[in-house]
Amino acid sequence: MKNSHDEKMTEVIIGEAVSELLSVGLDISWVALLDKLRTALNGETDEDRIRAVLRAIDEVRREMQVNSGGHKTSYGRSSDPFAPRGKLH
């Protein structure tokens, strides 16, 4: 069972990343969100937040995999979890 504090922290991290993307006028996509989370990870020093960022990255990767459906994209790429380029909203 996941710790509710960990889940909340992960949601906060994802929310911060989305807010940052919106504040600079970027489209929200799985790839943009993953890139922003990786950038956040590189600059983070707090252990709890590092774990939360890692969980957030894992969640986004899983969601990308689910949304790709394990099929090739229309661009002919494999179903690599990093391949989906569609907007979230």
pLDDT (tens digit per residue) in 63-82: 999 988 755 444 334 444 44
pLDDT (tens digit per residue) in 42-70: 999 999 999 999 999 999 999 999 988 75
Predicted pLDDT of residue 88: 54
Predicted pLDDT of residue 49: 95
**pTM of this prediction exceeds 0.75:** no
Tell me the C-alpha distance between 34 and 52, whole Å: 13
- Tell me the torsion sign for CA atoms 73, 79, 85, 89: positive
Fold classification of 4-68 (topology level): 1.20.5
Question: Where do the H-state alpha helices sit in the chain?
Answer: 4-23, 30-43, 47-68
